[in-house]
């Protein structure tokens, strides 16, 4: 599975949305991505990619696309 | 308003509070009416204790916001314990972001910037269902940002979960923390364990607690007594920190030192006022507490008269985001008898 597939399925599993909807998601843009959903998504991503994010990055993780940028800092890259 | 980092000098902070007062005066007509009526516009450029303040109650009766409706991305609600009405706090993205950043730099003063294993002294049910989310659940989630792994010390029937606590104690981390609500820790946890229950923990652990002294103050339990009991029952805990905060000023919490006193930090300010005249009181005298926060731009909640009694003790020193700074030391004694301050919002109701 590519990193993008893994990343996408984390959103699909956390928020129960279709894979073709995830790219447009932002924090609080859907009911499921609230503070509770956020922490679930964060710990799930950490587990899947075996990383540990800084506090500031968890705070800044505000959308699907911003998240890809943040994961880049931890060596998780997404081919265009 | 533009993004804001924390001001370190007193006059910078005064300038921030004055500009917040002006911003809300210009952006929120209800706030402007209140200021004109109760304080007069000249208060907007006054000294800290002259700046306008609103009673906390008013957020329960009035929808106060300083941004257009379409910029509101979240409405935070509190369930008041003494009233059926809930406060409604309107957040835009800037204010929400500022709240998260402030909370992490304040908490970093005791926990550092690195995330750690967390023992939640509560039950998992608190965060299981977002529809029944309470202030307790919100607190647990807010502080989860600082956690790597999270363990719940209590089962849903509030019995002790020994396996979870042992798993936390066995965690291979040189730093960890415990978090919970003051009354829950006291009544549901400390009372059920003794000094032999949980002894060994590798690495340093600190305990953070908050959420109101009302119940414990009624039993005459001080912050110092609480801290001493924690260290007696949980010998591996090195320091105990109380925090004081409210939904109207999320993020800019006041954090306590290990001696059991609360400190201001660059994101906030405390003023103690006479219960009857509302004149500022000198150090040492007990009165009603006014809390100020540098954060809220989307709603006029930067200066709020609480219903809590307390007193300012004097100048002190504490650390926020790795910077040691001067602070004001104070303590909270508990809720005041209702009525007195509610008068203000009743007055306003007529407009």
Q: Kindly report, residue by residue over B239-275, the tens digit of the pLDDT.
A: 999 999 988 999 999 999 999 999 999 999 999 999 9
Min Cα–Cα distance to chain A from B332, Å: 29
Q: Is B98 on the interface with A (CB under 8 A)?
A: no
pLDDT for B194 equals 87
Q: Is B175 on the interface with A (CB under 8 A)?
A: no
Domain assignment present for residue A15? The answer is yes
Q: What is the CATH number of the domain that holds A25?
A: 1.10.1200.10
Domain assignment present for residue A56? The answer is yes
Mean pLDDT of B209-213: 81
Domain assignment present for residue A80? The answer is no
Mean pLDDT of B313-342: 81
Average pLDDT score over chain B: 87
A-B Cβ pairs (cutoff 8 Å, strict): 33
Strand, coil or helix: A52: coil
Residue recorded with tokens 């730099």: B105
Buried b (16+ CB within 10 A) or exposed e, B307-332: bbbbbbbeebebbbbeeebebbbbbb
**The pLDDT of residue B3 is above 60:** no
Mean pLDDT of B50-65: 94
B345 — pLDDT class (breaks 50, 70, 90): very low
B123-139 per-position pLDDT tens digit: 998 888 776 667 788 78
Of B115, B141, B148, the CB nearest to A35: B141
**The pLDDT of residue A49 is above 50:** yes
pLDDT for B172 equals 81
Domain assignment present for residue A40? The answer is yes
B152-171 per-position pLDDT tens digit: 999 999 999 999 999 999 98
- For chain A, how many structural domains are there in total? 1
Domain assignment present for residue A53? The answer is yes
Residue to test with chain A: of B145, B150, B172, most A Cβ within 10 A: B145
Of the candidates B14, B245, B144, B174, the residue with the CA atom closest to the CA atom of residue A59: B144
**Which residues, 6 or more positions from B6, have their beta carbon under 8 angstroms from its beta carbon?**
B102, B105, B266, B267, B294, B320, B321
Domain assignment present for residue A79? The answer is no
**The pLDDT of residue B109 is above 90:** no
**The pLDDT of residue A65 is above 90:** yes
**The pLDDT of residue B322 is above 50:** yes
**The pLDDT of residue B343 is above 60:** no
Could you tell me the domains of chain B? 1-66+267-351 (2.30.38.10), 92-244 (3.40.50)
**The pLDDT of residue B340 is above 50:** no
As a whole number of angstroms, the distance between CA B225 and CA B220 comes to 9
pLDDT for B241 equals 96
Most confident of B93-102, B171-180, B280-289, B324-333: B280-289
- Token pair belonging to B216: 């414990």
Contact list in B for residue A55 (CB cut-off 8 A) is 104, 108, 113, 115, 145-146
Q: Of B37-41, B116-120, B171-175, where does mean pLDDT reach its minimum?
A: B171-175
ipTM confidence score: 0.79
Of the candidates B147, B199, B215, the residue with the CA atom closest to the CA atom of residue B178: B147
Domain assignment present for residue A78? The answer is no
pLDDT for B134 equals 73
| A78 contacts A7 by C-beta, under 8 angstroms | yes
Q: Tell me which residue range forms the domain holding A39.
A: 3-72
CB distance B115–A54 less than 8 Å?
A: yes
- Token pair belonging to B148: 């790597």
Domain assignment present for residue A55? The answer is yes
| B92 contacts A27 by C-beta, under 8 angstroms | no
pLDDT for B346 equals 36
Residue recorded with tokens 């400390």: B190
């Amino acid at each position: 599975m590519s990193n993008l597939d893994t990343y996408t399925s984390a959103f699909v599993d956390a928020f129960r949305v279709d894979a073709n909807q995830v790219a447009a998601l932002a924090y609080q843009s859907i009911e499921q991505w609230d503070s509770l959903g956020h922490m679930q998504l964060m710990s799930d991503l950490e587990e899947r990619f075996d990383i540990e994010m800084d506090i500031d990055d968890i705070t800044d993780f505000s959308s699907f696309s911003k998240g890809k940028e943040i994961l880049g800092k931890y060596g998780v890259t997404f081919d265009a | 308003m533009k993004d804001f980092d924390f001001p370190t000098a007193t006059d910078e902070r005064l300038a921030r509070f004055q500009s917040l007062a002006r911003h809300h005066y210009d952006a929120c007509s209800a706030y402007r009416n209140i200021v004109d009526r109760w304080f007069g516009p000249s208060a907007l450029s006054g000294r800290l204790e002259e700046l306008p303040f609103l009673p906390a109650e008013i957020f329960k009766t009035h929808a106060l916001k300083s941004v257009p409706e379409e910029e509101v991305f979240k409405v935070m609600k509190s369930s008041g314990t003494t009233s059926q009405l809930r406060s409604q706090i309107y957040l835009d993205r800037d204010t929400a972001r500022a709240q998260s950043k402030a909370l992490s730099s304040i908490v970093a003063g005791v926990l550092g910037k690195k995330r750690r294993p967390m023992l939640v002294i509560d039950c998992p049910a608190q965060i299981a269902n977002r529809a029944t989310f309470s202030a307790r659940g919100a607190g647990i989630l807010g502080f989860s940002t600082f956690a790597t792994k999270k363990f719940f010390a209590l089962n849903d029937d509030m019995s002790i979960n020994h396996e979870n606590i042992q798993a936390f104690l066995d965690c291979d981390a040189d730093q960890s923390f415990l978090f919970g609500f003051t009354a829950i820790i006291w009544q549901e946890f400390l009372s059920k364990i003794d000094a032999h229950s949980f002894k060994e923990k590798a690495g340093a652990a600190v305990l953070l607690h908050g959420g109101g002294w009302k119940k414990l103050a009624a039993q005459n339990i001080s912050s110092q007594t609480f801290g001493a009991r924690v260290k007696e029952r949980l010998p591996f805990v090195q320091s105990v920190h109380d925090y004081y905060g409210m939904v109207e000023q999320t993020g800019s919490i006041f954090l306590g030192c290990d001696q059991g006193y609360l400190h201001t930090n660059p994101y906030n300010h405390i003023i103690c006022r006479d219960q009857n005249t509302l004149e500022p009181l000198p150090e040492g005298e007990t009165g009603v507490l006014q809390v100020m926060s540098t954060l809220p731009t989307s709603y006029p909640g930067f200066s709020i008269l609480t219903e809590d009694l307390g007193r300012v003790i004097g100048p002190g020193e504490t650390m926020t985001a790795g910077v040691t700074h001067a602070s004001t030391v104070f303590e909270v004694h508990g809720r005041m008898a209702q009525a007195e301050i509610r008068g203000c919002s009743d007055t306003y109701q007529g407009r």
